[in-house]
Structure 1
Amino acid sequence: MTTPDPDLMHIDDEACRRFLSSTELIGRRWSPGIMLAIGRGAHRFSQIVANVDGLSDRMAAQRLRELEATGLVERSVVPTTPVQVRYALTQPGLELLRSLQPLAGWAHRWSELTDGAVQREAS
């Protein structure tokens, strides 16, 4: 049995609720991939869909609306002919994406844990 981590003891109930809400948002299927695609330079809808394997137009539109509503992604309309819609990460969205880098590193180092969970879930 491990002893409690003193760094985690200061997290109160309100901080826990906010953390849960944030992880549920970013844990929604396709959201991290969409944000990463935008962060890597895909700013048009078709570019985003093309950069996220398996993402349908319908799900992309739904997730982009959700990410926009939460303030992580901004949508702008360029008045050209035809009209262009562009997506960009907001400052909070960029900060969130950067904060996920250690988690991506953890997943890479411990891939046998996450790969096994995905395989068990599929069967």
Structure 2
Amino acid sequence: MNDFNMCPRFEKAVDLLSKRWVALIVFVLMPGPRRFGEIESCLSNLSGKVLSDRLKEMETEGIIERTVYPEMPVRIEYSLTPKGTALAPILGEIGNWSTEWIELGIKK
């Protein structure tokens, strides 16, 4: 008999944060706003299409905001909302955990 029920909010949060690149995009935006190309260059092996898709998903979830500056050429920046900034301590703890427990294989 299974007495365990997963909290739907927890499940949704884990589902969102476990999507490839989401946590890393949040990490890249923690110091402040960045343009699309800056985010892309910080995350090697990330295609522009996937980055665009993730940014849209994260904007829909209220984790980031997209600001368009009416300049020529148009400048667009992405930044964390308060909801996104609230992830900083969680990512910090993951960093602490990884430092203690994750071994990196040494390539020869």
Do both share a fold (TM > 0.5)?
yes
Could you tell me the TM-score, scaled by structure 1's length?
0.75
Deviation string for 1:16-70 (max 9, x for gaps)? 2211110110111011111111113451000000011211111100000000000
1:108 aligns with 2:87: no
Structure 1 residue runs of 4+, over 4 Å off? Answer: none
What is the one-letter code of the residue matched to 2:36? F
The TM-score normalised by the length of structure 2 is: 0.85
Which AA in structure 2 matches 1:28? K
Higher helix share: 1
Give the letter for the 2:30 counterpart.
Answer: G
Say whether 1:50 aligns with 2:51. Answer: no
CA RMSD of aligned residues (A): 1.8
- SS of 1:85's partner is strand
Larger C-alpha radius of gyration, 1 or 2?
A: 1
Q: Which runs of 5+ in 1 are unaligned?
A: 1-11, 117-123
Specify every segment of 5 or more residues in structure 2 that has no aligned partner in the other structure, as ranges: none
Q: Does 1:96 align with 2:82?
A: no
> In the alignment, is residue 29 of structure 1 matched against residue 20 of structure 2?
yes
Overall identity of the aligned pairs, in %:
33
Deviation at 1:13, TM superposition (A): 4.2
* Cα deviation, residue 81, structure 1: 0.1
Aligned residues: 102
- The answer to whether the 8 A contact 2:32-2:80 is kept is no
